[in-house]
Structure 1
Amino acid sequence: MELKEILAISGQPGLYKYVAQSKNGVIVESLLDGRRMNAAANAKVSALTEISMFTEGDDIALADVFTRIYAHTGGKEAISPKEAPEKLKAAFAEVLPEYDRDRVHVSDMKKCFAWYNTLLQAGFTEFKLPAEAGEEEK
């Protein structure tokens, strides 16, 4: 399973693994409970490889943020997304000190930490983008 196969669906909790194309959308499997469902064609589905975080300079890919969290925690789970907003901001600033404090909200931090913890529980230890993985193989 690669990061490019992992999807976030607007209005649905958790993350999903792409399974197959259906005539009305895509079939996905929840990483939380393993249930399969059809994500309709009009649902806002985003691959994690397409999501980035705002920084004071260029935006940084979510995969790179996950890599930083993994290095910072030593491969353990990150802070709980249910912690107080001040703790979440402090933890996020440790991982990504250059994040844009005006455009990155606490809700974004909660999603980031929750998604990281979900991926870690699903067995992810590397969060490289497909292009980066291809460059290393050459």
Structure 2
Amino acid sequence: MQLEKIISISGKPGLYKLISQLKNGFIIEDVVSKKKVSIGNTSQVSLLDNIAMFTFDKEVPLFEVFENVAKNYDYKEAISHKSSDAELRDFMAQSLPDYDTERVYVSDIKKLAQWYNILSKAGYITPESFVKAEVPAEEKTEDQPAEVTEKKTAKKTAPKTEKTAAPKVKASTSSAKGTPKSTHRKMG
């Protein structure tokens, strides 16, 4: 899924796409309204590409969960994030059956449903959006499967990130290199 530049900004509703870099910030575009605005380096930013959800035995990248939701809802909008807690937990159990019920909170499920519906409304949720990009043959190695090579290639184009194991840490931008830095967030 080609969404490595989709971000959530603390204190701002909705999702945004990084468009370009400024001297002391970035130009972003609302994924639904396509309205462009600038943000400063001090904004707390979370790259959706760096968010994962806890299961009992591993962490599942958010986009894999989006793909499960898309298949369950025939690539259309899912339940509302304003649904009851019981409905949201049922939605989560259908989307990620082995999710860690103690570490994934209802607030995380609400965010998942809300973000999925925003991306669906903006036209990002299609069967084609979940097809992995082809990697040129010269970048593949004999001892590495294509999936590993694809992940390394995707990281070359994605903004630099620091990864920590701490869940629920808000990301922030850095003015040192002019690229957004974020912590690896876990939902739950």
What is the TM-score normalised by the length of structure 1? 0.89
Greater radius of gyration (CA): 2
Structure 1 consecutive aligned stretches of length 4 or more whose deviation exceeds 6 Å: none
Could you report, residue by residue, the CA deviation over 1:5-28 in whole angstroms, capped at 9, with x for unpaired residues? 211111111100111101121110
Paired residue for 1:87? 87
Q: Is the 8 A contact 1:27 1:36 kept in 2?
A: yes
- Pick the structure with more helix per residue: 1
Question: After superposition, where does 1:1-138 map in structure 2 within 5 Å?
Answer: 2-124=2-124, 125=126, 126-127=129-130, 132-135=132-135, 138=137
Give the distance between the partners of 2:76 and 2:67, measured in 1 at CA. 12
Aligned-residue Cα RMSD (Å) equals: 1.7
**What is the alpha-carbon distance in structure 2 between the residues aligned to residue 117 and residue 46 of structure 1?**
18
Moved more, 88-97 or 29-38: 29-38
2:44 and 2:130 mapped to 1: Cα distance? 23
1:64, CA displacement in angstroms?
0.2
Q: Which runs of 5+ in 1 are unaligned?
A: none
One-letter code aligned to 1:44: Q
118 and 7 in structure 1: CA distance in 2 versus 1, 3 angstrom threshold: same
For residues 110 and 49 of structure 1, the distance between their equivalents in structure 2, rounded to whole angstroms, comes to: 18
Asked if the contact 1:19–1:27 (Cα under 8 Å) also holds between the matched residues in 2, the reply is yes
User: Percent of counterpart pairs with the same letter?
Assistant: 41
* 5+ long unaligned stretches in structure 2: 138-188
1:122 Cα deviation after fit:
1.2
TM-score, L = length of structure 2: 0.66
Shift of 1:134: 4.3
Bigger relative CO (Cα 8 Å, ≥ 6 apart): 2
